[in-house]
């Protein structure tokens, strides 16, 4: 049996609870076929309170030695906003060059969407390829005249031809592999003229290499309207880091809630760095430790993780087990571990 080195970062709030269930399902899905060497890293609010550190260099170097990473959630009301986000989550995404932030949105049978049935006539099954290493997330900014009425704060969005080209190519590859073969660029080129045109030109240029993929363009504001009025029009969406952050929360909401939304922070070159899989939701401190969190988003992220490391059969089994669980779910309220166990037992 092959062996996979898995780094697990449970993180804050509900992170450890949902990760626990994700690992249960992972073990049930792979059986004896593959052995997982798991290392757990206690990063997040606890470490920061104890030592003031978010991600020590030595820990980052260790994490890098793994094949893949599973992360629960990062964020805590007792830590100043941005400290853990920048110092831990974004640092991992940036240093491991997770330029493809992959966020599928699919309405599973049995799941209730807040959208009216007629809006869902064309289905809801799309995937957002969110750029993960650039945009306004890079921290290229600052403030002057701080605390005065004339304070100026800037947050410069970084868009490189290299960074756009590689993520657009990835999105085209994914679109070409799907039945509908359609790619939508979401941006705001009527206002963000510099970056917007670079994105647009890149999509046009790469499209020449993928002639069977059809493309269109939406401004991000219009995209939010379509997302709630005709989500079936979307197949693959490619967009920048911040627009992608925003529209994937809408995507999660319309596909049955953020408790089901999975994601991968992917570096497609598996030999370059480990990719990291995590639920789209946050640490939800208000319900932490109560067994109320839905672990399904983490379980689906485990499915994406398995696919990324080439365990396609196990990945499909996980998705199938989740689909069955969702179809059978009804209105009964179950605890975090009840849901995890129900899904895992479908894999046994
Ligand atoms: C997400 C989160 C993060 C992001 C935050 C916590 C930094 O909202 O994964 O969508 O903005 O990317
Ligand atoms: Mn977000």
| Residue having the nearest C-alpha atom to atom 11 of ligand 1 | 245
Are 27 and 78 contained in the same domain?
Answer: yes
Mean pLDDT of 138-148: 97
Task: Clarify whether residues 176 and 242 are in a common domain.
Answer: yes
What's residue 1's pLDDT? 61
DSSP alpha helix (H) spans, the chain: 15-30, 45-51, 57-64, 83-84, 91-95, 161-176, 193-207, 220-229, 241-254, 296-308, 312-329, 336-347
Q: Is residue 130 part of a domain?
A: no
**Token pair of 234, please?**
């979307």
Find, among 327, 348, 345, the residue nearest to 337 by Cα: 345
Q: How far apart are CA 73 and CA 75, in angstroms?
A: 7
Q: Which neighbouring-strand residues pair with 34?
A: 2
Q: What is the mean pLDDT of residues 283-307?
A: 97
Residue 8 lies in a domain: yes
Q: Report the separation in Å between the CA atom of 88 and the middle of ligand 2, taken as the mean of its atom positions.
A: 15
Structurally, the chain folds into a number of domains equal to 2
Q: Which atom of ligand 1 is nearest to the CA of 89?
A: 7
Q: Are residues 44 and 3 in the same domain?
A: yes
Distance (angstroms) between ligand 2 centre and the Cα of 74 equals 11
Give the pLDDT band of residue 330 (cuts 50, 70, 90).
Answer: confident
* Domain assignment of residue 117, yes or no: yes
CA distances to 135, 150, 155, 158 from 144, in Å: 21, 8, 12, 20
Active site residues: 137, 188, 221, 245, 249
The alpha carbon of residue 54 and the mean position of all alpha carbons in its chain are separated, in whole angstroms, by: 21
For residue range 162-178, what is the model confidence (pLDDT) as tens digits? 999 999 999 999 999 99
In a domain, 213, yes or no: yes
Which residue from 13, 248, 282, 283 has its CB within 8 A of the most atoms of ligand 1, so it is best to mutate?
282
89 lines ligand 1 (CB under 6 A): yes
Q: Ligand 1: which residue has its CA nearest to atom 10? A: 245
| Integer Cα distance of 115 and 226 in angstroms | 12
The answer to whether residues 282 and 344 belong to one domain is yes
pTM of the predicted model as reported, rounded to 2 decimal places: 0.97
* Average of per-residue pLDDT values in the chain: 97
- Give me the domain span that covers residue 172: 113-123+135-255
Which atom of ligand 1 approaches the CA of 242 most closely? 11
Q: Does one domain contain both 146 and 243?
A: yes
Domain termination residue (choose one: 235, 255, 275)? 255
For residue 94, the domain's CATH number is 3.40.718.10
85: Cβ below 6 Å to ligand 1? yes
Q: What is the mean pLDDT of residues 324-342?
A: 94
Q: What is the pLDDT of residue 2?
A: 85
Q: What is the pLDDT of residues 81-125, one digit of tens each?
A: 999 999 999 999 999 999 999 999 999 999 999 999 999 999 999
Q: Which of 216, 237, 255 is the last residue of a domain?
A: 255
Domain shared by 262 and 249, yes or no: no
Same domain, 160 and 27: no
In a domain, 128, yes or no: no
pLDDT at 348: 81
245 lines ligand 1 (CB under 6 A): yes
Averaged over 319-340, what is the pLDDT?
A: 95
pLDDT band at 159 (very low <50, low <70, confident <90, very high): very high
Are residues 172 and 304 both part of a single domain? Answer: no
**Are both 7 and 117 inside the same structural domain?**
no
In a domain, 21, yes or no: yes
Does 129 fall in a domain? no
Res. 226: pLDDT tops 70: yes
Residue 185 lies in a domain: yes
Same domain, 232 and 337: no
Which of 200, 228, 255 delimits the end of a domain? 255
């Amino acid at each position: 049996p092959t062996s996979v080195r898995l780094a697990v970062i449970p993180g804050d709030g509900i992170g450890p609870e949902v990760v626990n269930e994700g690992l249960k399902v992972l073990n049930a899905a792979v059986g004896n076929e593959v052995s997982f060497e798991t290392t757990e890293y206690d990063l997040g609010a606890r470490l920061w309170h104890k030592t003031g550190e978010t991600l020590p260099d030595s820990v980052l170097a260790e994490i890098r030695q793994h094949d893949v990473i599973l992360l629960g959630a990062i964020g805590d009301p007792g830590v100043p906003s941005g400290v853990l986000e920048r110092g831990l989550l974004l640092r991992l995404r940036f240093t491991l060059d997770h330029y493809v932030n992959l966020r599928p949105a699919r309405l599973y049978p049995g799941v209730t969407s807040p959208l009216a049935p007629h809006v869902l006539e064309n289905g809801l099954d799309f995937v957002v390829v969110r750029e993960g290493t650039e945009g306004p997330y890079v921290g290229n900014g600052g403030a002057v005249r701080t605390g005065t009425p004339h304070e100026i704060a800037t947050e410069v969005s970084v868009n490189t031809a290299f960074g756009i080209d590689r993520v657009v190519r990835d999105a085209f590859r994914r679109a070409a592999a799907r039945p509908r073969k359609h790619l939508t660029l979401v941006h705001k080129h009527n206002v963000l003229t510099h970056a917007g045109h670079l994105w647009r030109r890149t999509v046009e240029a790469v499209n020449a290499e993928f002639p069977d993929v059809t493309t269109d363009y939406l401004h991000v504001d219009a995209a939010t309207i379509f997302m709630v009025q005709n989500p079936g029009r979307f197949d693959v969406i490619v967009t920048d880091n911040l627009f992608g952050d925003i529209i994937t929360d809408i995507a999660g909401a319309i596909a049955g809630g953020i408790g089901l939304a999975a994601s991968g922070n992917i570096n497609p070159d598996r030999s370059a760095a480990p990719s990291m899989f995590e639920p789209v939701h946050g640490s939800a401190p208000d319900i932490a430790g109560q067994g109320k969190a839905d672990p399904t988003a983490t379980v689906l992220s485990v499915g994406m993780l398995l696919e990324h490391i080439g365990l396609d059969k196990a990945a499909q089994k996980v998705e199938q087990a989740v689909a069955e669980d969702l179809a059978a779910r009804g209105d009964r309220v179950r605890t975090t571990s009840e849901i995890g166990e129900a899904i895992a037992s479908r894999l046994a």
